[in-house]
Chain A
Amino acid sequence: MESVVLVVDIRSTADSPGDDDMLEHAIRAAQTFAHEKLVHKPTHEVGLVVFGSATANNDRMGGDGSKYDHVYGFGGP
Chain B
Amino acid sequence: MAPETGPIRPPAHPPTRSLARSVIHPLEVVGMETLRCTSELGSSSPSSATVTGRSSSGWLSGGMRVALDMIGSSKKKTGKKKVVVVSTFEGLSPRDVEDFKRIVDGLQSGAPVLVKFVHYDARPTTAGGGEVEEHWLWRAVAPYRESANIKVVRTPSQLRTCFQIKETKEAHVIYSGTLQLADKLEVMVKIVPKTKKEPFMALGNTSNNAFDDSNEYVPSSTYGTYGTSPSFGASPSSGTPSNSAASGDWYRQDDIEQKHPVPVGARIKAYKFGNVLLPMSGPVAELAKLSPDRGIRLVGFMDRAELSPELFMGASKVLFGDKASSASVAALCSLAAAMVKKQQVALLRVVLRAGSSVKLTVAFPVAENPAYFILKEVPFMQDVASINCAPLPEPEAETVLRAREFVQANMLDAAVPDLDATGNPTLHRAVNYFTRRFLMSDGGGVGGEYDGEDDEGVIPAEGELFVECFGEAIVDVDS
- Is A76 in the interface zone, CB < 8 Å from B? yes
Range of interface residues on chain A? 35 or more
Q: How distant is B458 from chain A, measured CB to nearest CB, in Å?
A: 11
> Is there an interface contact between B431 and A36, defined as CB atoms closer than 8 Å?
yes
Q: Which of A2-34 contact B (CB under 8 A)?
A: 2-11, 15-16, 18-19, 21-22, 24-34
Q: A7-B64, A8-B86, A26-B86 are in contact. Are A42 and B30 (CB under 8 A)?
A: yes
> Is there an interface contact between A68 and B51, defined as CB atoms closer than 8 Å?
yes
> Is there an interface contact between A62 and B90, defined as CB atoms closer than 8 Å?
no
Which residues of B are found within 8 Å of A5, using beta-carbon distances? Answer: 27, 67, 70-71, 82-84
> Is there an interface contact between B59 and A11, defined as CB atoms closer than 8 Å?
yes
> Is there an interface contact between B79 and A33, defined as CB atoms closer than 8 Å?
no
A20 to B66, CA, bound (A): 26
Which residues of A are found within 8 Å of B60, using beta-carbon distances? Answer: 9, 51
> Is there an interface contact between A43 and B29, defined as CB atoms closer than 8 Å?
yes
| Identity of the chain A residue whose Cβ is nearest the Cβ of B19 in the assembled complex | A71
> Is there an interface contact between B81 and A39, defined as CB atoms closer than 8 Å?
no
> Is there an interface contact between B82 and A3, defined as CB atoms closer than 8 Å?
yes
Which residues of A are found within 8 Å of B46, using beta-carbon distances? Answer: 50, 72
Which residues of B are found within 8 Å of A74, using beta-carbon distances? Answer: 25, 33-34, 37, 48
Q: A3-B76, A6-B84 are in contact. Are A71 and B63 (CB under 8 A)?
A: yes
Q: How distant is B11 from chain A, measured CB to nearest CB, in Å?
A: 14
Which of B162-170, B266-274, B322-330, B373-381 contacts its partner? B162-170
- Is B176 in the interface zone, CB < 8 Å from A? no
Q: How distant is A32 from chain B, measured CB to nearest CB, in Å?
A: 7
Of B56, B67, B120, B124, the contact of A26 (CB 8 Å cutoff) = B120
Contact mask A45-77 → B, CB, 8 Å, 1/0?
111111111000000111010001111111111
A34 to B34, CA, bound (A): 7
Q: A2-B82, A37-B30 are in contact. Are A16 and B165 (CB under 8 A)?
A: no
A42 to B51, CA, bound (A): 30
A35 to B123, CA, bound (A): 30
Of B70, B120, B156, the contact of A75 (CB 8 Å cutoff) = B70
Q: A29-B161, A52-B59 are in contact. Are A21 and B86 (CB under 8 A)?
A: no
A33 to B123, CA, bound (A): 25
Which residues of B are found within 8 Å of A11, using beta-carbon distances? Answer: 59, 87-88, 91
Q: A6-B84, A7-B83, A75-B25 are in contact. Are A41 and B165 (CB under 8 A)?
A: yes
| Identity of the chain B residue whose Cβ is nearest the Cβ of A52 in the assembled complex | B59
A38 to B36, CA, bound (A): 12
- Is B41 in the interface zone, CB < 8 Å from A? yes
- Is B240 in the interface zone, CB < 8 Å from A? no
Q: How distant is A28 from chain B, measured CB to nearest CB, in Å?
A: 5
> Is there an interface contact between A70 and B33, defined as CB atoms closer than 8 Å?
no
> Is there an interface contact between A62 and B34, defined as CB atoms closer than 8 Å?
no
- Is B17 in the interface zone, CB < 8 Å from A? no
Of B29, B31, B91, the contact of A16 (CB 8 Å cutoff) = B91
Q: How distant is B64 from chain A, measured CB to nearest CB, in Å?
A: 6
A67 to B35, CA, bound (A): 24
Which residues of A are found within 8 Å of B63, using beta-carbon distances? Answer: 7, 9, 49-51, 71
> Is there an interface contact between A29 and B432, defined as CB atoms closer than 8 Å?
no
- Is B26 in the interface zone, CB < 8 Å from A? yes
> Is there an interface contact between B29 and A18, defined as CB atoms closer than 8 Å?
no
| Identity of the chain B residue whose Cβ is nearest the Cβ of A53 in the assembled complex | B56
Q: How distant is B231 from chain A, measured CB to nearest CB, in Å?
A: 33
A66 to B131, CA, bound (A): 39
Which residues of B are found within 8 Å of A27, using beta-carbon distances? Answer: 38, 41-42
> Is there an interface contact between B39 and A76, defined as CB atoms closer than 8 Å?
no
Q: How distant is A44 from chain B, measured CB to nearest CB, in Å?
A: 7
Which residues of A are found within 8 Å of B50, using beta-carbon distances? Answer: 70, 72
A48 to B163, CA, bound (A): 13
A20 to B314, CA, bound (A): 39
A68 to B76, CA, bound (A): 33
| Identity of the chain A residue whose Cβ is nearest the Cβ of B43 in the assembled complex | A60
Of A15, A22, A69, A75, the contact of B159 (CB 8 Å cutoff) = A22
Q: Which of B9-59 contact A (CB under 8 A)?
A: 20, 23-31, 33-35, 37-39, 41-46, 48-56, 59
> Is there an interface contact between A44 and B30, defined as CB atoms closer than 8 Å?
yes
Of A43, A48, A69, the contact of B56 (CB 8 Å cutoff) = A69
Other A-B pairs, 7, CB within 8 Å; known A6-B67, A21-B159, A50-B41: A22-B122, A27-B41, A32-B431, A44-B29, A46-B29, A52-B59, A70-B52
